[in-house]
Structure 1
């Protein structure tokens, strides 16, 4: 999942259906049969898929992705052999089930990491652990040695974002230490550079003091070398600086490059080609770890859903198209490429899009993408029909006594390009580095005050990081929505594609707020 749990939006309370179902369970009553807002003639296939899409089988796909990562340097990032091998695994299973998967190639800018190193020179020597930012400017070979200058944050919600944040202190030739938040890190480094700073260290500022999230800069606006450091090291540096001068050496170097990668697309041979139901999950991970929750979890469950759906090709009324996106971790580039290259008719033929990103978070919240947003301020609502997709999923989980909360459409996963093109969207996630609230801990268990995934974009995002319970629960929701919409989308989009209003395909661009990998 691309950054920052990115994910500081407001979140709705659980749906009324979920509350009532949970209360019924507490009273010893059995939950109602799977609800679908009064629509009973369209759920037969959905019920079958929920039974047939088994967690154990999807877990085998996850194990395969772990095996692939282990044999490819521990990563499955876009443009690497680990990503290609992951795609080959998905494609081989799809072909055996009767699909004809294709690859949709595209290229994107990337950054080759050469050196990320740092140390405190004075007052007492110790090693630092910076992560050079993607598209950072380079320090000289051997590094840059300079005094540390801490950018004050206090109660400021936008630390290091404004020129005024640097007033009253000398940053000329110094290494600026800046807290995260309030604006993109590209903006922070521009402001620091304008104040004379020679380099910048960005505090990841996660409750886990050792977590370091690599930042991604907008290449055209890069002025100085930039790296991320963990909260523990940042706080220690700030404490040292409060006692007196601190001198650092940072060695931050890399090189821009162009990468060729691809999406994997497969669809059912049956069903209306002018009323397509599309599912997507990104198959790529980050360069810091194997990416088993982010996003092997959704990729594996989507594969198992496609394999089980293949047993029911004759029951499908609407063509179902599956996508395993490339380069999501670089700013939703695979899904953006796909949508941008759809014809006008191709956009009109898409009845809806279902997105799944990180469905096995260890400290999870059970989240359904919020297609309405009418009850709070936040990111804008999805296109017409998105709220209905949300209700189908929340009703399903509610019928099982499982409360859900809404997840804002903030443009930071692969649904973004579809929403921009006017296509109804929905789906599920269990969260990345968003911090669990006390209310969520009461609803879902787990640890309040900690990330929903404490291995987000880290080396420890391996198979042991995936929570099997939420993986199975959200997988059942995926199966339900797939089967339901494969038969009936009449409450989501007009049956006649000519009556569907679609905006022009959006230009390919990285979301401006995506400043973490």
Structure 2
């Protein structure tokens, strides 16, 4: 791995750029001129033409080999944060950019993160083993990592106030309705009242796969339970019938240090920066070649081909760590960004899962009415490109599922594209994109089989070309794009964002 700069990225970049171009106020467009006369000014079509499926897949094979470094600890390939597979991923990205010479300024941004793994779990309600019960992300284990037995105690309301929990929950298992407040708050209240475990049930028939978020010493072992399975249990509890249960979770939650990798062009106006990101980590369960090896590789390939051009505006690539643990890296980056640096980021583009096998071309439905001004213009850029290629597209909610969330909350316009995760493809989408209706967009989402066989090369090439187009467009000019203002996420976005990463948090 290359030597890390001892200066913050903004200091290194600003210091370098000041020697090369006149200092401009934020949003004043830099002249459209080539700093290196041997290279042409960035052109979207020319950059798109350099995208190669063979190069993408060659990088995927390298990434899968790196994921195998996690086998000693996890018994299968993985690139989860804290693993040898993730450390190898970071080294590969860093060294690949380092080989591009002085075109980029590189920075490792270290930060504390929480790593959580569930090794084994089981929930028995009455005489039946639950089929839908799923341990919450970042859940602690049951006491001494052994099964605990107790009665299910129905919690009033949604468990958002400690007064919702009756004293009888002490020594028993809290049964809590999903909604309103974070799962971590519900689990914390259960622990404070002496519960040995907690179950958060859905008010809809679907399962609940969520995260407790930031660990608390009061959290207890917590499961999510589908509304379908919870229904008969709830009916008994409301009649004051006794229902006993056995809960067991063997889990590990620990603090580690990991890092984001940030690469910014040495040239280009540093006061008007195009930023884009993908996450470098996978879940513990698998190698994550689509999620989000595909996005990470797309960014790496676009960054490599971009070196053949000059840019008018600076371009900043980011590979986030800890996305699967709850957007840890991107949240940390935005939270520690000084206000004067925040305002220089004109927009952030998120690229998470570019190659789902049963894909749809998905665009985040980011509008200016709900999100920072400029988000809708970015959305429209994606729409126009798909139309120009004669391709169909569909909108998906902008609801906090990926690394754009911290930027939107920080007042930075954002958006992105995806190809689908565990969602079900509709019959209409089958007509639009092919594939098979009634099945997940990615049948290997968060599983061991997210390997080299789990990428659709057609979708991957198409979307990498669109990434190149987004970079090529804004690296050349922000003409017609709204100027940045100091703002924060709207209450409408806050109310719509029910996720913080891949899992529900309320």
Q: Considering the TM-score relative to the shorter chain, is it more than 0.5? A: yes
Distance 1:461 1:488, change over 3 A: same
Residue 258 of structure 1: CA displacement?
2.0
Match among 478, 483, 486 for residue 502 of structure 1: 486
Corresponding residue of 2:461: 472
Question: Residue 301 of structure 1 aligns with which residue?
Answer: 298
CA contact (8 A) 1:78 1:326 kept: yes
| Residues 144-197 of structure 1, C-alpha deviations (whole Å, 9 max, x = no match) | 133567999xxxxx9888999999xx9775546678677643355467679985
| Distance change >3 Å, CA 163–CA 105, structure 1 → 2 | closer
Q: Contact 1:118 / 1:248 at 8 angstroms: preserved in 2?
A: no
Q: Deviations over 1:294-348 (max 9, x none)?
A: 1111001111111111111x3x211211111112223322222222333333223
Aligned match of 1:408:
397
| In structure 1, C-alpha distance between the alignment counterparts of 2:63 and 2:356, rounded to whole Å | 17
**Of residues 256, 263, 267 in structure 1, which corresponds to 2:264?**
267
1:332 equivalent in structure 2: 327
State the partner residue of 1:319: 314
Is contact 1:288–1:457 with CA below 8 Å preserved after alignment?
yes
Q: Which of the residues 21, 43, 46 maps onto 2:44?
A: 46
User: Offset of 1:207 from its aligned partner?
Assistant: 10
Assess if the C-alpha contact under 8 Å between 1:76 and 1:82 holds in 2.
yes
Preserved CA contact (<8 Å) 1:272 1:318:
yes
The match for 1:93 among 96, 99, 109 is 96
Distance 1:258 1:47, change over 3 A: same
How do residues 77-476 of structure 1 correspond to structure 2 at under 5 angstroms?
Answer: 77-98=80-101, 99-100=103-104, 102-113=106-117, 116-118=120-122, 120=124, 123=127, 131=135, 133-136=137-140, 138-147=142-151, 173-175=171-173, 184-189=182-187, 198-201=196-199, 213=209, 215-220=211-216, 222-228=218-224, 248-312=245-309, 314=310, 316-372=311-367, 380-381=370-371, 383-476=372-465
Does the aligned pair in 2 maintain the 1:298–1:357 contact within 8 Å?
A: yes
RMSD: 4.2
Aligned 8 A contact 2:205 2:228 in 1:
no
2-side partners of 1:391 and 1:185: how far apart? 35
Distance in 2 between residues matched to 1:447 and 1:191, nearest whole Å: 43
Q: In the aligned structure 2, how far is the partner of 1:271 from the partner of 1:451?
A: 41
Query: Contact between 1:363 and 1:453, CA under 8 Å: does it hold in 2?
Result: yes
Structure 2: give runs of 5+ residues left out of the alignment.
Answer: 1-39, 72-76, 491-496
Comparing 428-437 with 185-194, greater Cα deviation is found at 185-194
* CA distance in 2 between partners of 1:455 and 1:164 (Å): 41
Query: Secondary structure of the equivalent of 2:70?
Result: coil
User: Following TM superposition, by how much is the alpha carbon of 1:43 offset from its aligned partner in structure 2, in angstroms?
Assistant: 10
CA distance in 2, matches of 1:215, 1:251: 17
Q: Which runs of 5+ in 1 are unaligned?
A: 1-41, 153-157, 375-379, 495-499
Gap change, CA 1:112 and 1:402, over 3 Å in 2: closer
**In structure 2, C-alpha distance between the alignment counterparts of 1:124 and 1:328, rounded to whole Å:** 35
Q: Structure 1 133/280 Cα, relative in aligned 2: closer, same or farther at 3 Å?
A: closer
In the TM superposition, what is the alpha-carbon distance from 1:234 to its structure 2 partner? 7.8
Aligned partners of 2:415, 2:132: CA distance in 1, in Å?
A: 42
Question: 1:450, 1:330 → 2: CA distance?
Answer: 26
* Alpha-carbon separation, structure 2, partners of 1:206 and 1:97: 51
Give the CA deviation at 1:427.
1.9
What do the CA deviations read for 1:215-259 (whole angstroms, capped 9, x no partner)? 334433854321357899989999999xx9876543324454321
CA distance in structure 2 between the aligned counterparts of 1:247 and 1:113, rounded to whole angstroms: 27
Q: Aligned to 1:475, what secondary structure does the other structure show?
A: helix
Q: Is the 8 A contact 1:373 1:408 kept in 2?
A: no
Q: Which of the numbers 50, 55, 58 marks the counterpart of 2:56?
A: 58
Asked if 1 retains the 8 angstrom alpha-carbon contact of 2:352 and 2:418, the reply is: yes
2:68 aligned partner: 70
Kept in 1, the 8 Å contact 2:134–2:209? The answer is no
Within 1, Cα distance between the matches of 2:211 and 2:115?
Answer: 12
Per mean C-alpha deviation after superposition, the further-off stretch among 294-303 and 127-136 is 127-136
Which structure has the higher relative contact order (CA within 8 Å, separation 6+)?
1
Distance 1:159 1:423, change over 3 A: closer
Q: Any conservation in 2 of the 1:202–1:227 contact (CA below 8 Å)?
A: yes
Looking at structure 1, the residues matched to 304 and 378 of structure 2 have their Cα atoms a distance apart, in angstroms, of 23
Q: Indicate the residue corresponding to 1:12 in structure 2.
A: none
The TM-score normalised by the length of structure 1 is 0.73
Secondary structure of the equivalent of 2:340?
A: helix
Provide the C-alpha distance between the structure 2 equivalents of 1:119 and 1:333, rounded to a whole number of angstroms.
29
Cα pair distance change 1:43/1:453, threshold 3 Å: farther
